[in-house]
Amino acid sequence: MIWFVAKRLLAAVPTLLAVLTVVFIIVRIVPGDPALVILGDQATAEAAAALRTRLGLDQPMWVQYWTFVSNALTGNFGASLVTGRPILEEVGAVLPHTIDLTLASMVLGVVVGVPVGIWAALHRNGAIDVAARLLSLLGLSFPVFVSGIYLLLLFGLYWRLFPVIGNADLSDFGDRLHKVVLPAVALGLTMAAYITRVTRSAMLHSLGEDYIRTARAKGVPWRRVVWVHGLRNASLPVVTVVGLYVGILIGNSVLTEIVFNRPGLGKIIVGALNQRDYAMLQGLMVIYCFLIVVVNLVTDLLYGVMDPRVKQA
Amino acid sequence: MSATAEAPVAPRVPGWRKALGKARSNPTTLVGAVICLVILAAAILAPWIAPHDPAEQDIISRLAPPGGDYPLGTDQFGRDILSRLLWGARISLTVSLGAIAVACVIGGSIGMVSGYIGGRFDLFVMQVMDVLLSFPSLILGLIVVALLGPDLVNLVVAIALTAIAPFARIARAPTLALKERAFVEAGHALGYSHLRIIFRHILPNILPEVMVMASLWMATAVRVEASLSFIGLGVKPPTPTWGGMTRDGFENILDSPWLAVFPGMAILLLVLGLNMVGDGLRDATDPKLRNE
């Protein structure tokens, strides 16, 4: 197991380096002088030169690259151009809100998606299956800002069951829970739809295997066959999809935070866009990519835990 | 693959007919296709069927509720929502079709060439694609558009960039298997160039997979374009975009909820229609499902 973990960890290093390189290139292919882009066209030559020095843009390209990569790998993602505070600090301040939202929506997605997927697979081509397939297709098609606005209109403005503004008091658990419900439903809808579909097809595949017939022949109760023998073998594709879904979840959480006016990474991004805070954008992109690489790593490790055959590969 | 693919010569679009026939008999696909065609027609015919000019401002009937002269109401400048929706369909479709075409051609070529050459080159190219895949697509699109400036071409570039890697992957996998086949060997024996083999003999065989992928990714592209417009990074106003209209409507949600409801519905319908078509096509072309 240790050898397996070490191998996976080692394999993530080149990916991280490559991700950093791509971010470095993307930010530098912007046409024009970044200093002027940041300051605007009316900036004086001195101000532009001063900013270039401050950002290290007057250094040769390889020095800039080296500084960028070594800083990022040591956890230094730079400072905001607007507030001057370190990016990690700004992110850390709002991170609990974003984590609340994404975790709640993931839980919702799994709690709804897995049973519905299994249910649909057990009633293949029946009414339940058709309904589950159509509803999951609808759920997949909802852009999160549209479902967010609809939920807000219905439950926030019309029935007034949930608050419209999502700025929760972090020390009050009840308040956090109350304010995360609507956004989590909006965000979890797509997730539940994805998980339903994958669970359904993985279960169909797994229920057709020989070990299921063996288990039934041995007299294992049907419920246990489905939830233990079937689901255990169907869980690999489901975990894969949840892992892959994190990229979409990140993008969607940005939109959800805008709609529900929640503090979080999404609001930081939009603020940075409006204020042309490119240092912040670059830092956020690196943080997001790190996050995705870590999630991929965890998914890989989970494979090893769930399916011992993976470790030998 | 269908049985005809065993022939020594490159078969022409294997299973295509059968797949289309099967897709046609699937009600979900049909409904999806109708939705997409209606929206496409609305986009093409917008100048003739729109009741008003999308930029015309009727200051007296600002924020008018649906009904009467304005079937879906007016926005904060007194512009007709229905007309703006019809014109907005053009932006959604142009950007997403453009982005998917670019991603399909570039990603597909990368995948085929990479799979065909194989070896270390292939490993390297796929590693690069994996890196591209580790960027959250909306964030990548958002940053590219923010850096390049929001206009139609840059939106196409940004969305295409997020879709290249999946197309490369989908084109590569069957190429790896196809290049070992007899008809490719026959091509070599006849002295065909590698490019000719890739584009004349391998391409027709992987086309169904790539097209299914394209129809599924169209839905994603529409959603990403709408999302970017909603954030404020879409084609600049006064050009109507569905995402931009939803955003404007959202700002007036307390007095005039329909402003956000209708454009949101339009986006949902188009994405749903595309997903239904893509889903049906995938079921029809998936060799695992086809024989059932």
Query: Is B136–A145 a contact, with Cβ atoms under 8 angstroms apart?
Result: no
pLDDT of A34 strictly over 80: no
- What pLDDT, on a 0 to 100 scale, did the predictor assign at position B9? 47
Residue A78, in any domain of the structure: no
Residue B139: its chain A contacts at CB < 8 A? Answer: 250-251, 254, 269, 284-285, 288
Query: Is B138–A15 a contact, with Cβ atoms under 8 angstroms apart?
Result: no
Residue B172, in any domain of the structure: yes
**Test the B interface: residue of A23, A145, A241, A268 with most B CBs within 10 Å:** A145
Task: Name the domain count of chain A.
Answer: 1
Residue A49, in any domain of the structure: no
Residue A226, in any domain of the structure: yes
- What pLDDT, on a 0 to 100 scale, did the predictor assign at position A37? 66
- What pLDDT, on a 0 to 100 scale, did the predictor assign at position B19? 63
Alpha carbon of A265 to those of A53, A225, A256, B115, B141: distances in Å?
28, 43, 11, 39, 16
Residue A27, in any domain of the structure: no
Residue A125, in any domain of the structure: yes
Q: Is A251 exposed, middle or buried (0-12, 13-18, 19+ CB in 10 A)?
A: buried
φ/ψ of B259, rounded to 5, equals -60, -35
- What pLDDT, on a 0 to 100 scale, did the predictor assign at position B286? 64
| Alpha-carbon gap: B261 to the closest alpha carbon of chain A (Å) | 7
pLDDT of A306 strictly over 60: yes
| Alpha-carbon gap: B131 to the closest alpha carbon of chain A (Å) | 6
Q: Domain of A113?
A: 95-312
Residue A196: its chain B contacts at CB < 8 A? Answer: none
**Test the B interface: residue of A27, A141, A154, A182 with most B CBs within 10 Å:** A141
Start-to-end CA span in chain A (Å): 12
| Alpha-carbon gap: A309 to the closest alpha carbon of chain B (Å) | 23
Locate B144 and state its tokens.
Answer: 């590219």
Question: Is A250 touching B (CB cutoff 8 A)?
Answer: yes
**CATH code of the domain containing B140:** 1.10.3720.10
Pick B143's closest partner by Cβ from A248, A250, A285.
A285
- What pLDDT, on a 0 to 100 scale, did the predictor assign at position B268? 94
Residue B129: alpha-carbon gap to chain centroid: 19
Residue A85, in any domain of the structure: no
Residue A67, in any domain of the structure: no
Pick A18's closest partner by Cβ from B131, B257, B279.
B131
Kindly report, residue by residue over A258-273, the tens digit of the pLDDT: 888 888 888 888 888 8
> What is the rounded distance in angstroms from the CA atom of residue B288 to the CA atom of residue B231?
40
**CATH code of the domain containing A248:** 1.10.3720.10
Single-letter residue type at A301:
L
What is the mean pLDDT of the segment spanning A12-19?
Answer: 81
Between residues A116 and B18, the one the model is more confident about: A116
- Give every CB contact of residue B253 below 8 A, 6+ residues apart in sequence: A149, A152, A153, A157, B259, B260
- Give every CB contact of residue B205 below 8 A, 6+ residues apart in sequence: B1, B5, B10, B11, B14, B174, B178
Residue B5, in any domain of the structure: no
In this predicted complex, what is the ipTM?
Answer: 0.85
Query: Confidence class of residue A24 from pLDDT cuts 50, 70 and 90?
Result: confident
Residue B46, in any domain of the structure: no
Decide if A266 contacts A256 (C-beta within 8 A).
yes
Regions of chain B where pLDDT drops below 50: 1-11, 289-292
Residue B107, in any domain of the structure: yes
Task: Name the domain count of chain B.
Answer: 1
Q: Domain of B126?
A: 76-285
What 3-state DSSP class applies to B216? helix
In chain A, residues 132-191 whose CB comes closer than 8 Å to chain B:
133-134, 137-138, 140-146, 149-150, 152-153, 157
> What is the rounded distance in angstroms from the CA atom of residue B241 to the CA atom of residue B96?
13
In chain A, residues 3-32 whose CB comes closer than 8 Å to chain B:
14-15, 18-19, 22, 26-27, 29-31
- pTM (predicted TM-score): 0.86
- Give every CB contact of residue B209 below 8 A, 6+ residues apart in sequence: B170, B171, B174, B285
Burial code (b: 16+ CB inside 10 Å, e: under 16) for B80-112 equals bbbbbbbbbbbbbbbbbbbbbebbbebbbbbbb
Pick B134's closest partner by Cβ from A15, A144, A259.
A15
- What pLDDT, on a 0 to 100 scale, did the predictor assign at position A20? 84
